[in-house]
Every structure is written in structure tokens, then in C-alpha cells.
Amino acid sequence: MYLEKLRLDGRVAVVTGGGRGIGLAISEALAEAGAHVIIADMDAEIAAAGQASLAEKGFPADVVELDVTKPADVTAAADAIFARHGRIDILVANAGIARSGVAAEDTTDEHWLSVIDVNLNGVFWCNRAFSRHMLAAGRGAIVNIGSMSGFIVNRPQNQSYYNASKAAVHHLTKSLATEWAARGVRVNAVAPTYIETPLMKFAWDVPGMVEGWLEDTPMGRLGQPHEIASVVHFLASDAASLMTGSIVQADAGFTCW
Ligand code: NDP
């Protein structure tokens, strides 16, 4: 009974930013559990590379080229996926950018707006468009990727725009969860610690930065994409049937200190 609840056979799952990093690991986890995965990524080459790496492991996936900052495109993609598959069961709103390292007083309008546009607006456009199909069906699971940066302020790198965007994702998750709870659609978020992906590559070039992060981390290590993917898999599955509006911290204990 319990392992069965983790199966996703026959379900259609969309993962934004699913072509690499955490999104690719999530795509693989959901596919391994039996879902038909659609990688929705802005970069067609990255999406195709992700698709190829899943295919090598025996998991066929579809690809949709999608920029989550374009609300009309997001709605069109949701409608097209529904028209093609007849159902949308799972959305993982994972696409995000960091652009870390700029002091608040030096942050340009363009810098602030670009991060908010992908990390917050993009998450809302996706939740809005995909939820319509889920609400009509009376079932669905949405997992938004937040961050421990929505709870704490990272150091030493300045990234006020990123931290604010992720705190907003957490509260948006709770707001949508309550609106849709009685209509069969669950909305949760995962708040990871530092995960080794291209997004945090900048830190390796700054002497002492990663070492400092590790000192602030009770487990004393970075996370790997698969360690976030398994949490997302759980939240997307019936094993999490009583969970909505939860922000699940997967952070190696970082936020305890
Ligand atoms: P990556 O940069 O490795 O992957 C992000 C993916 O999202 C890329 O394929 C990127 O495509 C895509 N993407 C970016 N902008 C858009 C857009 N507008 N529309 C569609 N796709 C887009 O990042 P991670 O895997 O590390 O991050 C995934 C999520 O996890 C993000 O929300 C991030 O904030 C969050 N997170 C990451 C942490 C970390 O330490 N890595 C820690 C906590 C949270 P492209 O390459 O073309 O930009």
C-alpha cells in the first residue's frame, strides 16, 4: 500500500527548467515513478540534452520550449499539453535564476525585474495556467521550488532580489494551496540548501565562499540534485495526500543555525 502511493503511472507531469540541474533530476525521478514527463525549458538545446539523457536511462520524455516569463506562452503551452495528453496531473515550477552577488544599492532595474520575473512571476503564470486544467479535473499536485533563501539571508553574497523572490514563492504557495485545497489540487514547495548545479557555479570562483557555506551547514556538505528530486517526487505523489501549503526544507540543517 505505501510504496504503491509513490507510483505515478499514467500521470502527466510538467517540469519547468527541466533540462538541467535540479529540474532534470526531478524529471528523472517522476519518470522513474511512471509519469509521462514533459520538460519545459527556455533553451531548446538544454531541453534536448535533458531529454536525451533521460532516454539513455530508458525514460522517454517530451520537450516543450517555454519561457515562463511570458504568460500568454505559458497558457498556450498548458492548453497544448492538455489537448495532446488529455490530462495534466503534476506541475513542478522549478525554473529559476539567481544572478547573485550584487549589492542592493547597486542593483539595476533590469537586474531586479529579471529575477522577479522568472522566479516569482513565472511561478505564478505556471501555477495559474496549469491549475485551470487540474481544477477542472478535480485533481492535481503542484510543487514550486523555493529556497532556504526565502527563510534566511545568505552570506557573504548579496542577493536581495533572489531572497525576496523566494520568500514570495513560499507565501504564494500557501495562498494558492488554501484557494484550491477543497478542489483537489495540492500546492507545496521545497526549499533547498545549496545544490551543486550550474546556478551556483559562480561560487567556486570566489575564494572561501563555498567553505564558508559549509561551515554554516550542520551536515557540512552541499546537496545534490537527486536529493531535491526525491522530495519533489514524494510531494507530487499520493503519499503526500494530506500535504498542502507546506514549505519542505531540504537544507542539510542550514536553517537550524
Ligand atoms: P540551473 O540554472 O541549473 O537550471 C535552471 C533551468 O531553468 C535551466 O535549464 C534554465 O535554462 C531554466 N530557465 C531559466 N529561466 C527560464 C525561463 N524564463 N523559462 C524557462 N526555463 C528557464 O538551476 P538549478 O537547477 O540550480 O535551480 C532550479 C531551481 O532550484 C531554481 O528555482 C533555483 O532558484 C532553485 N534553487 C537552487 C539552488 C541551488 O543551490 N542550485 C538552491 C535553492 C533553490 P537556461 O539555462 O536557458 O537559463
Separation of CA 195 and ligand 1 centre (Å): 11
Ligand 1 lined by 121 (C-beta under 6 Å):
no
State residue 201's pLDDT score: 87
**Ligand 1 atom nearest to 162, measured from its CA:** 34
Percent of the chain residues topping a pLDDT of 70: 100
Separation of CA 214 and ligand 1 centre (Å): 22
pLDDT digits (tens, 9 = 90+) for 181-205: 999 999 999 999 999 998 988 899 9
Ligand 1 lined by 150 (C-beta under 6 Å):
no
Domain extents in the chain: 3-250
pLDDT digits (tens, 9 = 90+) for 69-85: 999 999 999 999 999 99
Q: Whose CA is nearest to atom 47 of ligand 1?
A: 43
State residue 253's pLDDT score: 98
DSSP letter for each residue of the chain:
-TTGGG--TT-EEEEETTTSHHHHHHHHHHHHTT-EEEEEES-HHHHHHHHHHHHHTT--EEEEE--TT-HHHHHHHHHHHHHHHS---EEEE----------GGG--HHHHHHHHIIIIIHHHHHHHHHHHHHHHHT-EEEEEE--GGGTS--SSS--HHHHHHHHHHHHHHHHHHHHHGGGTEEEEEEEE--BSSGGGGGGGGSTTHHHHHHHT-TT-S-B-HHHHHHHHHHHHSGGGTT--S-EEEESTTGGG-
pLDDT digits (tens, 9 = 90+) for 57-72: 999 999 999 999 999 9
**Ligand 1 atom nearest to 122, measured from its CA:** 18
Q: Whose CA is nearest to atom 2 of ligand 1?
A: 199
At the topology level, CATH places domain 3-250 in Rossmann fold (3.40.50)
Q: Whose CA is nearest to atom 45 of ligand 1?
A: 43
The yes-or-no verdict on residue 144 having pLDDT over 90 is yes
Percent of the chain residues topping a pLDDT of 90: 97
